[in-house]
Amino acid sequence: MILPPRNRLALFLLSLSLLIPWASSRVVQFELDLTWEDVEVAGAVRKAILSNGQLPGPALRLKQDDEVEFLVNNSLPFGTTVHFHGIQQQNTPWSDGVPGLSQTEIQPGDQFLYKWTASDYGAYIYHAHTRAQIDDGLYGPIYIEPRESVERPFHLIATNQAQSHELQAMRDAEKKTQPIMLTDWRAFTSEEFLQIEMASGLNGYCASSVLINGKGSVVCPSRETIQALTTDAQRGFLEGGELTDMGCMPPTASFVGAYALDLSQAPRGYYEGCTPSEGPTEVFHVEAASRYASFDLISMAGSTALVFSIDEHPMYVYAVDGRYVEPVLVEAITVPIGARYSVLVKLKSDPLAAEDTTEYTIRAANSYANQLINGTALLSYNTSSKASSSSSQPYITPSALNATATTTFLNDSAIIPFPILTPSPDTTQTHILNVATINTSYTWTLGNTSYSPNNDLLSPPELFNLSAIPAQYALTTLNSTWVDIIINITTAGQPQHPFHKHSNKYFVIGSGTEPFVWASVADAMRSIPERFNLVNPPLRDTAVSPASVDGPAWLAIRYFVQNPGPWLLHCHIQMHHSGGLAIAVLDGVDEWPVMSNPVSSFSITST
Ligand SMILES: *[C@@H]1O[C@H](CO)[C@@H](O)[C@H](O)[C@H]1NC(C)=O
Ligand SMILES: *[C@@H]1O[C@H](CO)[C@@H](O)[C@H](O)[C@H]1NC(C)=O
Ligand SMILES: *[C@@H]1O[C@H](CO)[C@@H](O)[C@H](O)[C@H]1NC(C)=O
Ligand SMILES: *[C@@H]1O[C@H](CO)[C@@H](O)[C@H](O)[C@H]1NC(C)=O
Ligand SMILES: *[C@@H]1O[C@H](CO)[C@@H](O)[C@H](O)[C@H]1NC(C)=O
Ligand SMILES: *[C@@H]1O[C@H](CO)[C@@H](O)[C@H](O)[C@H]1NC(C)=O
Ligand SMILES: *[C@@H]1O[C@H](CO)[C@@H](O)[C@H](O)[C@H]1NC(C)=O
Ligand SMILES: *[C@@H]1O[C@H](CO)[C@@H](O)[C@H](O)[C@H]1NC(C)=O
Ligand SMILES: *[C@@H]1O[C@H](CO)[C@@H](O)[C@H](O)[C@H]1NC(C)=O
Ligand SMILES: *[C@@H]1O[C@H](CO)[C@@H](O)[C@H](O)[C@H]1NC(C)=O
Ligand SMILES: [Cu+2]
């Protein structure tokens, strides 16, 4: 729920004389005051993190090349850090916000000044990177307006006679692009959730509601509805049973693994025990005369893969993870946690026509097998006529499947960057990182071991002491080299993990659903060349591994090391990340930044 700001959002735009004489940029100062308060979300009150009194936090709007000074004022009763998701942090590794790697936690009552350059345009996110605080609501959208000189891909959409008219409408829509934050919400604080996980042995994979820009309701579907909407994928794990009243998978061995559980420690609302409550619904207002509306779809969910769709409104996807792509027209988009999709929605020209409705349902439905859950919002045309009572026609079902015979879903593997960028045809190093649960249902490996929570406490952090982190939790690279990482999903039944790499983006060069038995991409390409794309692969900072439905699977990424520093590579499903599905990527150890005293340089005690 969006509350009236308690503290005024302080956003000062200063035109400063420049330190670097040949560049032209402005300094943008943004202050985020974090508080821990009783908040009503989806109709129920619990403690949550507010950012300048809001949840989600206020939008940070920038222009490409801006110098950002982002001051975090920690008025929370616990330590925190803020990460800028997708921001490259070229030459500013101290501003990446990962405790133990780039900084120590900002203590209660302390402040920390992050400084970075908005070198890339597009849609990004700021969010907590300490413990599981994202699930308490610490996130907000960032939008960086491209330089005028950056070529837009809109001419690939407008192909009719009125092209220039049409192009202008698209450019205007892009200028006014609005964030749509998709999240999920639980009845428990993140620390309570982690406690329940440890006490019960059961991985926390359920939510009570899906929120759109912080708004939503807790809906408890009837047993008949649940039965009717249960998918084949879910039946594959149910072992003959049924979903709980929250729409959640019960903890069957085929779903959570054959680990010892103590379900008496799992309170009502953890995976069963639905309590309905009604909250507000987000409404997006558009005007038919604008002809197009632009939205940045952003997921900061904890445990859901939300399929986004607007009834009766196809969408041109024109940017992914902040960067332009060759536009594709789709009716539904799966938004993995941490990913961003910018879309142009062609508006109806005549919503006033007699039987036309002026309100269209916006849907966000979970596609993971863990839970049947969805949220809704409204796209509303500003017209003088009253909204008709007829309801709009959905493209997707509440189970995130096609609701029509022809619904088109975005195919992530077919996304082509605009302009095309080509990775190196070969690589210097290959790291094969195995992914599986180990010892408990909530502990995961990425590589040879599970990333330890103790790594978050390294002081001084890794950036300031290259030997701080034990070797098994990190991989190292040399600057100016190409690196391959194979995410090796070794067991069946794993969901699509959204892999986020901090700092610069990677090419998604291949994926498959067979055991990855090769030593390198070059080896694999001799056996299964059709699984790879080195010509025009997607460029991402967050991409999913394939679901390992029947057996092992893999994802191959390739990137150029260009920004020395300690960067995390991790699954963005919150409880997988908390369970150790992460590794420190020490990029460019041969050119490691030399820094003196981190605390006095970058943490300030008063404004
Ligand atoms: C920053 O936090 C302190 C307490 O931690 C509070 O007194 C102060 O008002 C906050 N500043 C702003 C601008 O919110
Ligand atoms: C989920 O979808 C169903 C069917 O469209 C709808 O009845 C229900 O209200 C939706 N849930 C929420 C929280 O919007
Ligand atoms: C549309 O109408 C809503 C509600 O009356 C109003 O808040 C909003 O500003 C209007 N938007 C535009 C673009 O006129
Ligand atoms: C969804 O797509 C499948 C496969 O194309 C088709 O068989 C099915 O009928 C579609 N569902 C609906 C409700 O149209
Ligand atoms: C998605 O795109 C890839 C690459 O073009 C293609 O190989 C694959 O078959 C497509 N998947 C679907 C479901 O259409
Ligand atoms: C798994 O359990 C074994 C035996 O207790 C222990 O030695 C090992 O460290 C554990 N591994 C992880 C990643 O927790
Ligand atoms: C750096 O980390 C290593 C390994 O933990 C530790 O032995 C050493 O004391 C640390 N150096 C400093 C300056 O803290
Ligand atoms: C994992 O173990 C293998 C084999 O011992 C080793 O080659 C590799 O470097 C290790 N990886 C990491 C990230 O420690
Ligand atoms: C990757 O996983 C497959 C099983 O899917 C396994 O056969 C292979 O040995 C693993 N690779 C490495 C390097 O551990
Ligand atoms: C690291 O490599 C990149 C790309 O070659 C280069 O631009 C950058 O200057 C290098 N950094 C250092 C510190 O040498
Ligand atoms: Cu995961």
Which tens digit of pLDDT belongs to each residue from 254-302? 999 999 999 999 999 999 999 999 999 999 999 999 999 999 999 999 9
Q: Which stretch of 20-24, 359-363, 400-404 has the lowest confidence by average pLDDT?
A: 20-24
The residues near 600 (Cβ < 8 Å, ≥ 6 apart) are none
Q: Which amino acid is at 47?
A: K
**Using CA positions, which residue lies closest to atom 7 of ligand 3?**
285
The secondary structure of residue 218, as a DSSP letter, is B
C-alpha span between 224 and 226 (Å, rounded): 5
| Count of beta carbons in the 10 Å neighbourhood of residue 416 | 18
For ligand 7, whether the C-beta of 1 sits within 6 Å is no
- Residues 194, 101, single domain; the answer is no
Does residue 593 lie in a domain region? yes
> Both 456 and 591 in a single domain?
yes
Instruction: List pocket residues of ligand 4, CB cut-off 6 Å.
Output: 402-405
- Domain with 97, as residue range(s), is 2-150
pTM (2 d.p.): 0.94
Closest residue by CA, ligand 7 atom 5: 468
302 in Cβ contact with 324 (< 8 Å): no
Local structure of 114: helix, strand or coil: strand
Please write the tens of the pLDDT for every residue from 137-156. 999 999 999 999 999 999 99
Show Cβ contacts of residue 148 under 8 Å, excluding neighbours closer than 6 positions. none
> What is the chain's mean pLDDT, rounded?
92
Tell me, yes or no, whether 292 lies in a domain: no
| CA angle, 566 then 466 then 442, to 5° | 55
Ligand positioned closest to the Cα atom of 464: 7
Residue owning the nearest CA to atom 7 of ligand 8: 431
Give the pLDDT of residue 316: 98
- CA 217 to ligand 2 centroid distance, Å: 9
Query: Nearest residue CA, atom 13 of ligand 5?
Result: 411
Query: What's the whole-number mean pLDDT along residues 458-470?
Result: 96
Query: Among the three residues 118, 150, 182, which one is the final residue of a domain in this structure?
Result: 150
Q: Is the pLDDT of residue 9 over 60?
A: no
Mean pLDDT of 566-579: 98
Residue 584 covered by a domain:
yes
Ligand 8 atom closest to residue 583's alpha carbon, by position in its atom list: 13
Rg (CA), the chain: 23
**Which CA distances in Å does 585 have to 16, 477, 565?**
36, 8, 8
Identify whether 281 is part of a domain.
Answer: no
Q: What local confidence, expressed as pLDDT, does residue 25 receive?
A: 79
164-168, 200-204, 270-274 — which is least confidently predicted? Answer: 164-168
Q: How far is the CA of 567 from the centre of ligand 6 (A)?
A: 25
Nearest ligand to the C-alpha atom of residue 93 = 10
Residue 419 DSSP one-character state: S
Residue 354 pLDDT more than 60?
no
Question: Does 517 sit in the ligand 9 pocket, CB within 6 Å?
Answer: yes
Q: How many residues does the chain have?
A: 607
Q: What is the CATH number of the domain that holds 55?
A: 2.60.40.420
For residue 555, report the distance from its CA to the centre of ligand 5, in Å.
Answer: 15
Pair 555, 496 in one domain: yes
Residue whose CA is at the smallest distance from ligand 2 atom 13: 375
State whether the Cα torsion 257-261-263-266 is positive or negative: negative
d(CA 232, CA 367): 12
For ligand 10, atom 12: residue with the closest CA:
591
Q: Please check whether residue 178 lies inside any domain of the structure.
A: no
**Cβ–ligand 8 contact at 428 (below 6 Å):** no
Q: CA-CA distance, 184 to 211, in Å (whole number)?
A: 5
Do 198 and 142 share a structural domain? no
Task: State which ligand 1 atom lies nearest to the alpha carbon of 33.
Answer: 14
Output the CA–CA distances (angstroms, integers) from residue 219 to 43, 278, 365, 374, in the order listed: 11, 8, 13, 9
Nearest-CA residue for ligand 5 atom 5 is: 414
Query: Is the pLDDT score of 512 beyond 50?
Result: yes
- Quick one: 131 and 242 in the same domain? no
| Amino acid in the structure at residue 228 | A
Report the distance separating Cα 134 and Cα 55, nearest Å. 11
Asked if the structure places residue 536 within a domain, the reply is yes
496 CB within 6 A, ligand 6: no
Number of separate domains in the chain: 3
Same domain, residue pair 117 and 250: no
| Co-location of 234 and 104 in the same domain | no
As a whole number of angstroms, the distance between CA 478 and CA 550 comes to 37
| Residues 6 or more apart in contact with residue 272 via CB below 8 angstroms | 244, 245, 246, 248, 250
Ligand 8: centre distance to CA 85 (Å): 28
- Identify whether residues 67 and 196 lie together within a single domain: no
Q: Does ligand 9 have an atom closer than 6 angstroms to the CB of 552?
A: yes
Residues 139 and 207 occupy one common structural domain? no
SS3 label, residue 525: helix
pLDDT for the residue numbered 349: 81
Q: Is the pLDDT of residue 162 over 90?
A: no
In DSSP terms, which residues pair with 377 in a beta bridge? 362
The predicted structure's pLDDT at residue 387: 58
User: How sure is the predictor about 24, in pLDDT bands with cuts at 50, 70 and 90?
Assistant: low
CA 138 to CA 52: how far, in whole Å? 11
Q: Does any domain span residue 496? A: yes
Out of 309, 331, 402, 408, give the residue to mutate to test ligand 4, the one with the largest number of ligand atoms within 8 Å of its CB: 402
User: Is the beta carbon of 33 within 6 A of some atom in ligand 1?
Assistant: yes
Of 250, 265, 280, which residue is a domain's last?
A: 265
Rounded distance, CA 448 to CA 82, Å? 28
> Minimum-distance ligand to the CA of 445?
6
**What pLDDT shows up at residue 343?**
98
- Whether 588 is in the pocket of ligand 10, judged by its Cβ within 6 Å, is yes
Same domain, 593 and 446: yes
**Residue minimizing CA distance to atom 2 of ligand 2:** 398
- Residues 433, 542, single domain; the answer is yes
pLDDT at 175: 97
Cα(430)–Cα(522) distance, integer angstroms: 10
- DSSP secondary structure string for all residues of 446-460: ESSSPPPGGGGG-SS
CA of 539 to the centre of ligand 6 (A): 36
Ligand 9 pocket: which of 430, 435, 445, 488 to mutate (most atoms within 8 A of CB):
488
Atom of ligand 7 nearest to the CA of 460: 14
Same structural domain for residues 589 and 445?
Answer: yes
270 found inside a domain: no
